[in-house]
Amino acid sequence: PTGVSLASQSEDYSPWGYLWPRFWLPFVAWDDLGVYVSALTQGSDPLGKHIYSLSAQYDSAIQRGSYLASYTNQSFYPVISITSYDQSLQMATRGQYSRVYSTSFVSYWTMENQSPYWTVGFGGGQGGNERFGQNIERTYARFATTYRNAFQYGDQISPESGWVGSLSYVPGKLKDLNRIVHVAEASGAYYFSRWLPKRHVLMLKGQARTSDEPWNVSTMDQSVANQTTSNSLIPQYLNRGFSSGSLMGRNILGINAEYRLPFGRLDKGFDGYPFYAHRWHGAIVADGTFVDGLIYDEKSTPMTYRRSEGTGYWSAGFETRFDVNVGYHFPVQFGFGIYMPFANPYTESVPRMGGFLIL
């Protein structure tokens, strides 16, 4: 019989046909100020050489939209990632918002000869910050190093041991002020489960930022009320008992503690839909934020921002969370929480509630 040459039918690998969006995920979250609506899609080729994510959001409290687009190319070494976003966040003052926007790239290497857990990277970009009608644009470079030996496996609800850490230095030029400024950031998280019941985890996290930027509300970083990413290394000064933007500072330190505990397995899919529910779990949370900057005074008439020099502000609460996969292999976490700020001279000690989506 005549044979057929396999070699004659081979084709070069092409990723492009796999990259069309195959799903979109709508989501609705809320807090005491308004409703937050978002839509998300992600994609990659089977070999993971090309990965992208697109999302759009609308916040009814400030009546503004936001977007985030990212692309990572792992076809060659070093890995290259490009990100563009324009995000508007609620401020503590109803109807006011802060806007952060940037387009940037980063290249990074794994330091295989020293440790497979250690990466270094550099990149740069252009962006700006806008608050209360004041806008400061900048062109910047970024140098960063990351270490990670904490990973989540199997039916774990979280990494159960190890730690992650990151250091970055971001010099930049402020466009309108014609001034060179310097920003340093550090973040890290530690996971502990020894002596705890099975699948229970204690997570401790810290994040800090310091800069020599001029005193201006548009050069400050701010606290946020809802977590949006599971990446412990992304600077996100989370204080769930305070409205987003209640705390702002050029110098800011955030501390978070979570006792995470499982409730049960769901293991349920839905015929015809690329959606699979894995597990249900919860967390007892505590947050602290120290700022050299501003605190929103809810007790004054009228409400206003006041100077805060290194004072700590604390809150605690409880969250229930659901882990699901969308598009068959993209993990997403939905959740709902209730939080209470601790007594301080500026904030009413009343509970706040919120729903959230963590990518």
Beta-carbon contacts of residue 166 (< 8 Å; ≥ 6 apart): 144, 145, 146, 147, 185, 186, 187, 188, 233
The pLDDT of residue 327: 64
Rounded to whole angstroms, how far apart are CA atoms 310 and 306? 13
- Per-residue pLDDT at 338: 95
SS3 358: strand
Given a cut of 50, the residues of the chain with pLDDT beneath it are none
Asked if 124 contacts 107 with a C-beta cutoff of 8 angstroms, the reply is: no
Per-residue pLDDT at 193 = 97
pLDDT at 301: 82
Length of the chain: 359
Q: What is the pairing mode between strands 64-73 and 118-131?
A: unpaired
Distance CA 44, CA 193 (A): 33
Q: Which neighbouring-strand residues pair with 277?
A: 268, 324
Instruction: Pull the structure tokens for residue 200.
Output: 């229970």
For the chain, the distance separating the N- and C-terminal CA atoms, rounded to the nearest angstrom, is: 55
- The position carrying tokens 């409880």 is 318
pLDDT at 314: 96
- The count of other CB atoms within 10 Å of the CB of residue 194 is 7
Helix or strand holding residue 17 (H, E): none
Per-residue pLDDT, 2: 55
